[in-house]
Chain A
Amino acid sequence: MPATEPVATPGPAAAGPGDDVIHDIGFRHYDGPRLGRAWVVRSLLVETVRGCFGLGRPARSKVMPWSLIGILLIPPLIIALSILLIGGDELPVTYTQYPNALQLVVSLFVAGAAPYCVSRDLRHGVMPLYLSRPMMRTDYVLAKFAGLALAVLGVLALAQTLLLIGALLAKLPVGAQLVGWASGLLVSVVLAVLLSAITLVVAAFTPRRGFGVAAIITILVVVSGVAEMLTAVAQDRGLTTAAAYLPALDPFNLVDGIAVRLLGAESARGHDVPPGVLGGLTFLVVTAAVVAGCLALLIRRYRKVGVV
């Protein structure tokens, strides 16, 4: 570039204001394709899903997610073997009960993944870099949320599918197993969305990763324990309505209640569930309200992030 030309003319792509974000300050023009807002969101989502499994991160970040996934996948193998050896015509744990039976491991996976998704960006103050792209704050929140939910769903679906393969290899009736597997996947979707929303809120308020993990798992475990104790108390006092609704304090029981009432599954913990389709719909509405509330909180949290 000649020195006699101090002010560079804007490149052709910078013609319309707003559609060019690679700031042209006169050194080198860019005429290539602009992928735009949707592509940024897509990339962020893919990166989040990969990161939850430790892909694209150093080896020691892969240890924890994959050992937890390993623990989640062992029971289906044992179940399949036990049906083969002992016989029987149904699974000892149904598809909808499975995420509930391994509640702790699922919680640990989410607790490890959620702070990874949001805490580092907050802690290292790189939000302004994201926001200088053609991406809204809401896009960032939704991409992270969708990424985490997809990762959790992937883990749950993998375990369910392994259970299905085991059942089919053991020559259990195909139709019933496929129906059970489909309802198990539905439950997994609801559970993944619910857990992701709750844990992301906690993670977004704890910029330190280690403490984020501890806070999330503490909240999930304590809420579950408190729900159990309160339900037992309500049953002792003969408060049947309360005993049916109190377990729903625990996200896993909430999803279980939906499965029992709307999908006709067996309850995982043998809790009372509010009667009829109405009970199931109530739980579904509560789930939707919790997810919406958590997302609103997240968007609110991110409204001021990155503003210096």
Chain B
Amino acid sequence: MNAVVMQLTLRGLLGRRRALLLLVLPALLLVLAGIVRWASGADVFATVGLTENFAFGTLLPLMCLLIGTGVIGSEIDDGSIVYLLAKPLPRRTIILSKLAVAWGAAFVFAVLPLVAAVEIAGDDGGRLGLAYGVAATLAALTYTSLFVALSVVTRNAVIIGLLYALLWETVLGGYVPGIRNVSVRQWALATAESILGDYAYVWGVLSAVGQTAALGLLAATTVGAVVLAVRRLETLRLTATD
């Protein structure tokens, strides 16, 4: 990893209008959590509803997508990546440095607000917060790596990433049970389920995948995405902006 690349990436990520979205969305989640608490009286089931439907299902992939495409996609888009690629740095150093920043940003802007929202909306002695926190961390790691790889591979990373995160995981996953086996969200939720133990069945925090398989799949996807991103950056073809 390279400190200068990380510093530049961080400045690019937080220095523009993107930072506004990165701050507004978590704030919105916290306000929503406050409203849910006011409405349900700190009911755990309402918290699970808020997290499953909005925080974990929509906001987390969206934030990871914004961050993942923000660290490298915009540079490839406007062609300024050539100045970075021209430096005597291995491409894997560039990807790993950018990924480290993306993971850190995803943790700060997506995972921490999610845990805070769970605590605000109503928790049972921190149990739900811990389970969702661990699951969200795992999901954020995989989503971010996936979306960074996607933005190296294609210029339509945002649209394809959203088709995957929302259409595939949420809409199609709701109808076709088999799709739930191929879903980062379900893999991550498997950890939440096993941390919660018996409470998982009471509160309905259930996953379609077993714990061991889920962790293996998460790790394989993350590593695969990183390798793919490095390989594709090594042979990146710059095309004219359109």
B74 contact from A60, A120, A208, Cβ within 8 A: A208
Judged by a CB distance under 8 angstroms, whether A37 is at the interface is no
User: Across the interface, do A236 and B40 meet the contact criterion of CB distance under 8 Å?
Assistant: yes
Q: Chain B interface residue count: which class?
A: 35 or more
Indicate which residue in B17, B35, B53, B159 contacts A206 across the interface (CB closer than 8 Å).
B17
A-B contact pairs, 28 of them (CB 8 A): A57-B242, A64-B156, A71-B167, A105-B167, A108-B162, A108-B163, A111-B158, A112-B159, A208-B77, A210-B155, A210-B157, A210-B158, A211-B18, A214-B158, A215-B17, A215-B21, A218-B62, A221-B62, A225-B59, A228-B53, A229-B35, A229-B36, A229-B53, A230-B35, A233-B35, A233-B36, A233-B38, A236-B39
B118 within 8 A of A: no
- Give Cα A237–Cα B38 distance, bound, in whole angstroms: 9
> When the two chains form their complex, are residues A229 and B54 in contact, meaning their CB atoms are under 8 A apart?
yes
Chain B residues within 8 Å of A232, by CB = 49
Taken together as a complex, chains A and B put the C-alpha atoms of A206 and B155 apart, in Å, by 17
Contact A209 B77 (CB under 8 A): yes
The residues of A that contact B171 with a CB separation of less than 8 Å are 104
Residues of B that sit less than 8 Å from A by CB:
16-18, 21, 25, 28, 32, 35-36, 38-40, 46, 49-50, 53-54, 58-59, 62, 65-66, 69-70, 73-74, 77-78, 155-159, 162-163, 166-167, 171, 239, 241-242
Known: A211-B18, A214-B69. A60 touches B155 (CB 8 A): yes
A134 to B233, CA, bound (A): 46
Q: A229-B50, A230-B35, A233-B36 are in contact. Are A217 and B158 (CB under 8 A)?
A: yes
* A228: chain B residues within 8 A (beta carbon): 53-54
Rank and list the top 7 A-B pairs by shortest CB-CB distance, nearest first.
Answer: A233-B39, A210-B77, A213-B158, A214-B158, A225-B58, A225-B54, A64-B156
Chain A interface bracket (under 10, 10 to 19, 20 to 34, 35 or more) = 35 or more
Q: Is the CB of B166 within 8 A of A104?
A: yes
Q: Which A positions have Cβ atoms within 8 angstroms of B?
A: 57-58, 60-61, 63-64, 68, 71, 104-105, 108, 111-112, 120, 205-206, 208-211, 213-215, 217-218, 221-222, 225-226, 228-230, 232-233, 236-237
Query: In the complex the two chains form, what is the Cα distance from A96 to B11 in whole Å?
Result: 46
A39 to B28, CA, bound (A): 46
| A206 neighbours in B (Cβ, 8 Å) | 17
Q: Residue of A at shortest CB range from B76?
A: A210
Contacts of B28 in A (CB 8 A): 222, 226
How distant is A57 from chain B, measured CB to nearest CB, in Å? 6
Chain B residue nearest in CB terms to A64: B156
Distance (whole angstroms) from the CB of A238 to the closest CB of chain B: 10
How far, in whole Å, are A210 and B66 apart by their CA atoms in the complex? Answer: 10
In the bound complex, do residue A208 and residue B62 qualify as a contact, i.e. CB atoms below 8 Å apart? no
Which residues of the other chain, B, contact A205 by a CB distance below 8 angstroms? 17
**Docked pose: A209 CA to B78 CA in angstroms:** 9
Verify B167–A104 contact, CB threshold 8 A: yes
Q: Which of chain A's residues has its CB closest to B65's CB? A: A214
A226 touches B32 (CB 8 A): yes
Q: Are A210 and B69 in contact (CB under 8 A)?
A: yes
A229-B32 contact given A104-B167, A210-B74, A222-B62, CB 8 Å threshold? yes
Interface centre among B28, B77, B159 (most CB of A within 10 A): B159
Q: Chain B's nearest CB lies how many Å from the CB of A74?
A: 12
Residue of B nearest to A213 (CB): B158
A249 to B171, alpha carbons, bound, how many Å? Answer: 21
**B32 near A218 (CB under 8 angstroms)?**
no
Across the interface, do A237 and B39 meet the contact criterion of CB distance under 8 Å? yes
Closest CB in chain B relative to A201 CB, distance in Å: 14
Q: How far is the CA of A222 from the CA of B66 in the complex (A)?
A: 13
| Closest chain A CB from B61 CB (angstroms) | 10
Whether B242 contacts A58 by the Cβ 8 Å rule is: yes
* Cβ–Cβ contact B39 & A222, under 8 A: no
Contacts of B70 in A (CB 8 A): 211
Residues of B within 8 A of A226 (CB): 28, 32, 54
Q: Is the CB of B242 within 8 A of A211?
A: no
User: Which residue among A206, A218, A232 has the maximum number of chain B CB atoms within 10 Å of its CB?
Assistant: A218
